[in-house]
Amino acid sequence: MSSEIKDGKFYFKGTVITPVLGRLHLDQTSTIADFYFDGDTTYVHCTNRITTFVNEKKQKDTLNNLTISNVKGSSTQDLIIGFETWQKELKKSSESDKQKNEAYYEKLLLFVQDHPKSKASLFLLGKATSLSYVQAMQVSKLIDTSLKSSYEAGSVSELLTMLHNKPEKIANRAIGAAFHNVILSDTAGNAIDTKQFRGKYVLIEFWASWCGPCRAANPSLIKLHDELGGKKFEIVGISADEHIEFWKEAINKDKMNWPQLLEGRHGKLSSFYNINAIPSNILLDKEGKIMGVDLSAREIEKRIKNSS
């Protein structure tokens, strides 16, 4: 659905039976903001900041940084905000990491116990990557079976699989481990083997067109590619997109001038490397071995220069 902004306001009308996770963006060069709506009327207050950057053609370009500052009229969103506010305060506390993890588990357990039929419980559990497999299983058993076919239930299943395989996934991401090469399709439909990029330093960048933080990070990647690209360095995008047209449009609008491959939301490569949130990246040396994971642009540049 789309709506025109008039006098700083926009409206959508529709009917939902259960709480629905909504996604707002201004255009394909806008970050994306998520929220739940479940009442007769939901009011969403947003702020927008235009970021200007220089693209690979040395031309000025912009990105709309859309942020939701307040949501009223959604009981599901209220529950999520309440829990996440508590979680932020916990992170600021002086307690040890062990104490924080125990408090977090106990709080989430009580939350789901009190709200077994709420999608807020599924949403929060799906993000609980710090839990152990046993803890996550205990929490998941409290969720009402009426939600087992929901979109959010899929995220919980992915979390449980990840936690169950966590020791193996950690080994896969170890410094010096050989990269797990795959064959995926590029924007032209050609089959591309990631092994073909050996001989260069390669940044494997996991992203998606609908991911606001991913799109916001593109200017720094463009700058990095301009400075280091060529025979020495390459970026390879691995997209979690499911809509090919949105994927291609984002590539063109953000002017990402490097190889782009599509594996979809449940990609085997993302699963192999335990990629549960994007953007995420893996830096490879010229032999295809892992040099680092989830590095900033500055860290990537530093590691490459120190290895050359």
- H helices of the chain, in order, are 75-92, 97-114, 119-126, 133-140, 151-164, 166-172, 212-228, 244-254, 268-272, 297-307
Q: Return the pLDDT at 235.
A: 96
Q: Measured between alpha carbons, how far is residue 9 from residues 19, 47, 72, 88 in Å?
A: 23, 11, 15, 30
Q: Return the pLDDT at 307.
A: 83
Q: How far apart are CA 117 and CA 243, in angstroms?
A: 30
Which residues, in sequence order, are CB contacts of 122 under 8 Å at separation 6+?
Answer: 143, 147, 150, 152, 153, 155, 156
For the segment 288-298, what is each residue's pLDDT rounded down to a tens digit? 999 998 888 88
For the chain, list residues with pLDDT below 50: 56
- 175-307 — its CATH code? 3.40.30.10
Identify which of 182, 204, 177 has the alpha carbon closest to the alpha carbon of residue 192: 182
Parse the chain into domains and list their residue ranges.
20-73, 76-164, 175-307
Q: Return the pLDDT at 163.
A: 83
The neighbour count for residue 227, using CB atoms within 10 Å, is 11
Q: Return the pLDDT at 31.
A: 76
Q: Return the pLDDT at 61.
A: 67
Q: Return the pLDDT at 259.
A: 95
Q: Return the pLDDT at 117.
A: 95
